[in-house]
A and B are shown apart, each in its own frame.
Chain A
Amino acid sequence: MTARIHLLLGSLSAALVAFALTSPRVIAADKVDPVADAKAFQNFFFQKFPNVKHEDFVNGPYSMNEDMKRQWQEKEEFPPYEFALDAGKEMFATPFKNGKTYADCFPNGGIGIRQNYPYFDEKEGKVVTLELALNRCREANGEAPYSYVKDEMASLTAYMAYTSRGELMDIKIPDDPRALAAFENGKRYFYTRRGQMNFSCASCHVQSPGERIRAEILAPALGILNAMPIYRSEWSGMGTTSRRFVTCNSQTRAVPLEPQADEYRDVEYFLSYVANGLPISGPGARP
């Protein structure tokens, strides 16, 4: 038993020391500054990969490896997400039982607006993602919501992403302390280690993009959500942003949170904001 007490005391003192070290910076950095964060985030990747064109970062692993890029370009000639796209288009055109359609729930009929999602809803005081907005639209029109990790949701977001292809990511953070808090919460989630593997999102997507983890090449974090939803050969099916977050968690042996949990909405907000200015390339095809 005594060994364990030493251990706990040891870790407490270590934590105290760590806190003392960071406290001056914590006070200085207390004011959340998304603009500076985004600039630093983008510059980190631009400097780390000087010969990757800025807009190429949205192609994830394919911006990191030539052999993989050729296989991707071959797939893109007739991409496997073609069926999800057609299904999404059809669902958009099919009215709900009450006669309304998705177009009635979204600005500009839902066409060419994906780059503004997720947005901060000042009434609700929370981040609203595209997947959440789609399900709320269904519920508002008396329809049952779709699972966040299954094909129907992926088809809808695939079609909406397709109508925004090439548009530059344009996420806004209103001057509202709750919005800044959501951004900061998303950033904290992104850098926090979790699971028995003790990895954070950054362990893979900031410290080692371009390197291999088993057969896969790790994608850079910059622009990583611009291609959502993605058809993954490994799933031989479509994957929404929610499905990607949930599977990433379980791969570090962390029990995933429920889809569209606040943490997931905030980390999507953070990752999308820091990718402002990079083109939407969804729906994407990935290994």
Chain B
Amino acid sequence: MKRSLLLAMLLTSSLAPSARAANEADYKAAYAAAEAASKEAAGMRNQWTVTVSALAAAKKAADGGDFDRATAAAKEAEALAKASIFQATSEKDAWKAMEIR
């Protein structure tokens, strides 16, 4: 249970709403960070489907000019990607706990 608590905290901590309206530059920065984390997760062969859909939602919102939503979605994608990376690294050994011996 401890691990999923950590995952949940990681997710919520990065969703802190930004005060002023996001503009295109904020979106681009957030999207770049999200994409990098997503690539790293994919590289570890532990990508989550929700990361991919959050990234797509971000791009779609940005194309529609709604940079507030786009930045939020990009930030969420980054958090999800980071959580999947955390999961992959912690599972490197954690899996043994469940092994039938």
A–B touching in complex (CB under 8 Å): yes
CB of A10 within 8 A of CB of B6, answer yes
Q: Could you tell me the dominant secondary structure of chain B's interface residues?
A: helix
1/0 per residue A1-41: CB within 8 Å of B?
00110010011001100110010011000000000010011
CB of B89 within 8 A of CB of A22, answer no
CB of B2 within 8 A of CB of A187, answer no
Smallest distance from the beta carbon of B99 to chain A beta carbons, Å?
5
A7 to B7, CA, bound (A): 10
Q: Which of B19-27, B28-36, B42-50, B64-72 contacts A (4 or more CB under 8 A)?
A: B42-50
Chain B residues within an 8 Å CB radius of A192 = 91, 95
Smallest distance from the beta carbon of B87 to chain A beta carbons, Å?
6
For residue B80, CB closer than 8 A to chain A, the reply is yes
Chain B residues within an 8 Å CB radius of A206 = 98, 100
Other-chain residue from A4, A25, A40, A198 in contact with B7 (beta carbon distance below 8 A): A198
CB of B96 within 8 A of CB of A191, answer yes
A44 to B99, CA, bound (A): 11
Other-chain residue from A11, A40, A44, A188 in contact with B90 (beta carbon distance below 8 A): A11
What total of chain A residues lie within 8 Å of the partner, measured CB to CB? 36
CB of B95 within 8 A of CB of A253, answer no
Chain B residues within an 8 Å CB radius of A254 = 46-49
For residue B57, CB closer than 8 A to chain A, the reply is no
CB of B80 within 8 A of CB of A191, answer no
Smallest distance from the beta carbon of B28 to chain A beta carbons, Å?
20
What total of chain B residues lie within 8 Å of the partner, measured CB to CB? 33
CB of A196 within 8 A of CB of B80, answer yes
CB of A18 within 8 A of CB of B13, answer no
Chain A residues within an 8 Å CB radius of B84 = 196
Most buried by A among B90, B95, B98, B100: B100
Other-chain residue from A4, A10, A25, A253 in contact with B49 (beta carbon distance below 8 A): A253
CB of A15 within 8 A of CB of B100, answer no
Other-chain residue from A22, A187, A195, A257 in contact with B48 (beta carbon distance below 8 A): A195
CB of A4 within 8 A of CB of B98, answer no
For residue A193, CB closer than 8 A to chain B, the reply is yes
Contacts known (A187-B99, A191-B99, A254-B49); A15 close to B89, Cβ less than 8 A: yes
* Closest 9 pairs (CB-CB, A-B): A191-B95, A255-B47, A44-B100, A192-B95, A253-B49, A192-B91, A196-B48, A191-B98, A202-B98
Q: List 26 A-B contacts (CB under 8 A).
A: A4-B13, A4-B14, A14-B2, A14-B6, A14-B90, A18-B93, A19-B93, A22-B93, A25-B96, A26-B93, A37-B100, A44-B100, A187-B99, A191-B95, A192-B91, A193-B95, A195-B49, A196-B48, A196-B83, A200-B98, A202-B99, A250-B49, A253-B48, A254-B47, A254-B49, A255-B42
- A residues near B (Cβ < 8 Å) are 3-4, 7, 10-11, 14-15, 18-19, 22, 25-26, 37, 40-41, 44, 187-188, 191-196, 198, 200, 202-203, 206-207, 250, 253-255, 257, 263
